[in-house]
Amino acid sequence: MNKKQKKTLYRIIISAVLLIALYFIPVTGALRFILYMVPYFIIGYDVLRKAFKGIKNRQPMDESLLMCIATVGAIVLAVYQDLSGLKGDYVEAIAVMLFYQVGEWFQSVAVGKSRRNITELMDIRPDYANIETDGELEQVDPDEVEVGTVIYVKPGEKIPIDGIVASGSSTLDTAALTGESLPRNIVEGDEVISGCINLTSPLRIKTTKEFGESTVSKILDLVENASSHKSKSENFITKFARIYTPAVVYSAIALAVLPPIVRMLFMGAEPMWGSFVYRALSFLVISCPCALVVSIPLTFFAGIGGASHAGVLIKGSNYLETLSETDTVVFDKTGTLTKGNFEVDAVHHCPIKEDELIEMAALAEAASTHPISQSLRRAYSREIDRSRVSDIEEIAGQGIKAVVDGKRVAVGNTKLMAAVGAEYIECPDDIGTVIHVSVDSEYAGHIVISDIIKPHSADAVRALKSCGVKRTVMLTGDAVKIADKVASELHIDEVHAELLPSDKVDRVDALISAKGGKGKLAFVGDGINDAPVLSRADIGIAMGAMGSDAAIEAADVVLMDDDPLKIADAIRIAKKCLRIVKENIVFAIGIKLLCLLLSALGLAGMWLAVFADVGVMVLCVLNAIRALITKR
């Protein structure tokens, strides 16, 4: 609680105590009036002042004025009753003001609390960077660190700026960025991104970007500005409040004036001014639109905050809304559903141990920089002992011949096998690249290298179906055969293969115009070569986008790591958020209309009116905070 909130709380307590005390003090007449005015002014002076200033600045139509008219009106009615010999009811006016303040206080505390919660979730802003000068560490503002400077990150500290590890190895906690709880191991030469926490040992990092261009700044910028992209629901509420408040004020005036006049002139009955003025005042108290005006933006903010905690950055409330209406998801294949780097998938027809074959191949390819030799070396996973290899001979378009451990090893395609005189066996299901190996001109089998499907891809497609996505489509530049295999393995409904990057835009265009109905189309890509498609789709989702500026620019939703399951998470969070928004709109407007009707008919007094205002607001705010919880 801040100072202002504490002060309001004291005022609430003092005036409530006074109000209860006055109930037991037997005084009458003018003294009673004056005594009752004490708690009224204690609790309401700022509201009265604000309403007065509002009128002075020609901004009269706000809730302070509504409260003033209602409470002053109720007091005038009570004075009138006093004068006409009855005992006037002052408690009501004070209670209305008291509950209004309780509501405001609660709202302020709740919003402050969720604001703190959300900013804690996004607490990735580094406060300083350590620079080593003459063996001494100096803390400087990250903004002042130039590109190429070596910074020192102690265990427990956040990495302030993107860079490359110059020395040291450690593990990083990336949870704040990716939502991934497993720490990541890094060694010298690895790229690291700002916002990660260094866990085990100190690191020297050579920066590759300025602070303002670093991942952490980009993310904070994106999330902090997200709520300025307003959703349809938010715009609806703003417009609604603009029309609603004046409409209610005029209706209240009509309710106070018209029925008595009609009764007097046409029915010959008693006008009952007091009763109708009272009804009009209750009407005013009920009408406050604060439940909606506060809870709707709060829900979106909480939704965006919760999502970013789960590693899903959503650029605005409008995208949250579109995301919740998604019924078609279009995937790019490489890098999205598959890992995008080639790995050893299988080893066939091998007379020796598979590991030994891979070892031979990796050693023979020791000097090559070709992506395929890199994946062979990754599969071997041990240190390459160059001294075991000699006479390396690279034959363009065929492969490599080398002497490994004194044996003549050939690694390459069928042409190379024919050239060395080994009897090779064709791979029957040639999906991916097939590497044949021969040892001393004897065929030693082949290694199949292909783009591996990510472990969670199948689960992701299933999860999407279960959260309301009707159709899944895969686009790829790869061969039809490979595309079909991946699609059938993942149960994807529709595949379009052998597409050039520009074809993908046309294809998405066609899909959007072909699909009728209200549902939206989302495109998921890894941000490489697909920026135009990301911006063409109703909603563009870029994944694994840490460090890829183009993707962050073009996409509407950015997944911090490359786990496709996050797509379903994002849709689920969006749906939950929008459901809460709808619940609040229906609940708040429903209850208010009902209470307005009851009070117009004279069936509801100020007490119900106060519930309709403050109670509904409290319930809506509590409901809104649910959007922060994003557990699967």
Residue 337, classified by CB atoms within 10 Å of its CB into exposed (0-12), middle (13-18) or buried (19+), is buried
C-alpha 4, offset from chain centre: 31
List 14, 76, 108, 453, residue binding other proteins (CB under 8 A): 108
Output 121 or 499, the one with its CB closest to other proteins: 121
List 94, 102, 290, 389, residue binding other proteins (CB under 8 A): 290
299-358 residues near other proteins, rule: CB under 8 A: 301
Binding of other proteins by 235 (CB under 8 A): no
Binding of other proteins by 241 (CB under 8 A): yes
212-218 contacts at long range (C-beta below 8 A, 24 or more positions apart): 212/143, 213/162, 214/160, 214/161, 214/162, 215/162, 215/177, 215/546, 215/547, 216/124, 216/125, 216/126, 216/158, 216/160, 218/549, 218/552
List 238, 251, 275, 374, residue binding other proteins (CB under 8 A): 238
Min dist. Cβ of residue 299 to other proteins (A): 11
Binding of other proteins by 200 (CB under 8 A): no
List 14, 50, 547, 587, residue binding other proteins (CB under 8 A): 50
The token pair at 257 is: 């004036």
Binding of other proteins by 57 (CB under 8 A): yes
On the CB side of 29, CA atoms within 13 Å amount to 1
Output 119 or 390, the one with its CB closest to other proteins: 119
Binding of other proteins by 121 (CB under 8 A): no
From the list 82, 89, 162, 332, the catalytic residue is 332
CB 380 within 8 A of CB 427: no
Binding of other proteins by 216 (CB under 8 A): no
Size of the site for other proteins (CB under 8 A): 26
Q: Please provide residue 95's backbone torsions phi and psi, each rounded to the nearest 5 degrees.
A: -65, -40
List 143, 224, 270, 356, residue binding other proteins (CB under 8 A): 224
Binding of other proteins by 227 (CB under 8 A): yes
141, 142, 147, 152 alpha-carbon torsion, rounded to 10°: 100
Min dist. Cβ of residue 241 to other proteins (A): 7
Output 46 or 157, the one with its CB closest to other proteins: 46
Distance CA 3, CA 53 (A): 23
List C-alpha distances in Å: 426 to 240, 266, 293, 480: 71, 103, 69, 20
Binding of other proteins by 62 (CB under 8 A): yes
Which region, judged by CB under 8 A, interacts with other proteins, from 93-101, 286-294, 369-377, 504-512? 286-294
88-107 residues near other proteins, rule: CB under 8 A: 104, 107
Distance CA 581, CA 583 (A): 5
Residue 534 one-letter amino acid: L
| Contact partners, residue 397, CB within 8 Å, separation at least 6 | 415
List 119, 185, 341, 390, residue binding other proteins (CB under 8 A): 119
Q: Please provide residue 442's backbone torsions phi and psi, each rounded to the nearest 5 degrees.
A: -95, 135
The verdict on whether 327 is a catalytic residue reads no
Distance CA 412, CA 423 (A): 13
List 145, 172, 197, 293, residue binding other proteins (CB under 8 A): 293
Binding of other proteins by 129 (CB under 8 A): no
Output 547 or 615, the one with its CB closest to other proteins: 615
3-class DSSP assignment, residue 176: helix
Binding of other proteins by 28 (CB under 8 A): no
Q: Going by DSSP bridges, is the β-strand pair 184-186/203-207 parallel, antiparallel, or unpaired?
A: unpaired
Which region, judged by CB under 8 A, interacts with other proteins, from 55-63, 383-391, 478-486, 508-516? 55-63
- Applying CB under 8 A, the residues found at the interface with other proteins are 49-50, 53-54, 57, 59, 62, 104, 107-108, 111, 115, 118-119, 224-225, 227-228, 238, 241, 290, 293-294, 297-298, 301
Hey, which residues are catalytic here?
332
